[in-house]
Amino acid sequence: MSTLTYGHPRSKKFEATAVLDGNRISELPCARLPWGSQMNKREFLSAGAAVGFGLGWDTVPEAFSQAAKWPSRAPIPHRQAKTTRLFKAPGLYPNGLAISPDGLWIGQQKISAQQAALWHEPVPVDRDEAAWLVDWQGNLLKTVVTQSRNTSGMAYGDGCVWMGANADSQGFFQTDMNSKLIRHLQIPLGPSDNGGGCHGAQWHNGKLWIVANRLRGILRVDPKTWQPEFMIPIYTTTGLSRWHDITFDNEGSLWQINGNDSTSFAEGKPGLIKYDVATGQVLETAEFIPGSCDPHGLENHDGVLISCDAGCHPGWPDKESPSSGYIFRIDFI
């Protein structure tokens, strides 16, 4: 069992004790409210739906499907964004970014055997994936080799890189600057041997934020104790059901990349979501103009959002994006 605090814009925070199984809440004895009463399972599910709609869900997650919908909210502000290429990553398939005092870390994602067969590419013999440190001109400064697989999101903190695996043994690989594995940890609130994959990560104020695919949420974790502390449900809309990396802006708001399911670069519709990190409420959305780079990783450098085009997009031909492998900046129009 795990205790997790959900942000709610309309009321005080509450704690709920639950066992999560996929997208369902299984074994749910009660929830503890700050004013001393208790809720049974049905009442908790109804309250959970209220939390979800307060946080900006436009559809009800399966676990909360019994509850009525909240009244509609005012339209969410929306704008456009464009991209500008900066430099190429040291190797193929950059799919994670992290900033350190020494420069920009780039996480590598090697293609799987299945992808290699689909794209008629050779299967990588060495499955270990690199974390490259580059300066802001793209010059390679350092390479750390990690045991992560299908990396999709990374962070830098406590003198280590934290690589988020999205395949095989899953979880996070905390690796020091000498390529030594410190810990391999599963994403919390899941099975002990497989907490699911991730699509992003961010180190912020001593905490590790994880885009947890299995939970469909952005989870804040204490990296020392590995206990979950807070979760923001990922905001999706009809046609924009994919999500990627996260970062914080200079005002402390949380940004996330989103997009659509597509079969080609021409069909791709990437965008951005801005959350209030205290409540999870969606503050703003944005869409990239046609022809923009395909965003995967996300970071904030001196007030400007930075991303990477992995060149390895599910459903697309290999390296179809004209900006495959590039690090680029994002500017709002």
The domains located in the chain, with CATH, are 2-64 (no CATH), 78-332 (2.40.128.630)
Residues facing 185 on adjacent strands: 172
Q: In what order do the strands lie in the sheet with 154-157?
A: 154-157, 160-164, 172-175, 181-185
- One pLDDT digit (tens) per residue for the chain, 333 residues: 444 544 444 434 434 434 343 333 333 333 333 333 344 444 444 444 444 434 444 444 443 333 334 445 789 999 999 999 999 999 999 999 999 999 999 999 998 888 888 888 888 888 999 999 999 999 999 999 999 999 999 999 999 999 999 988 899 999 999 999 999 999 999 999 999 999 999 999 999 999 999 999 999 999 999 999 999 999 999 999 999 999 999 999 999 999 999 999 999 999 999 999 999 999 999 999 999 999 999 999 999 999 999 999 989 999 999 999 999 999 999
Task: Tell me phi and psi for residue 15, to 5 degrees.
Answer: -105, 140
Give CA torsion, residues 305, 198, 179, 87, to 10 deg. -30
Which tokens is 230 given?
């807070």
Are 145 and 179 in contact by the 8 Å Cβ rule? The answer is yes
Per-residue pLDDT tens over the stretch 261-293: 999 999 999 999 999 999 999 999 999 999 999
pLDDT at 37: 38
pLDDT at 326: 98
pTM: predicted TM-score of the whole model, two decimal places: 0.80
Residues facing 305 on adjacent strands: 300, 330
User: 117: buried, middle or exposed (CB in 10 Å: 19+, 13-18, 0-12)?
Assistant: exposed
Phi/psi-derived region of residue 115, left when phi > 0, alpha when psi is between -120 and 50, beta in every other case: alpha
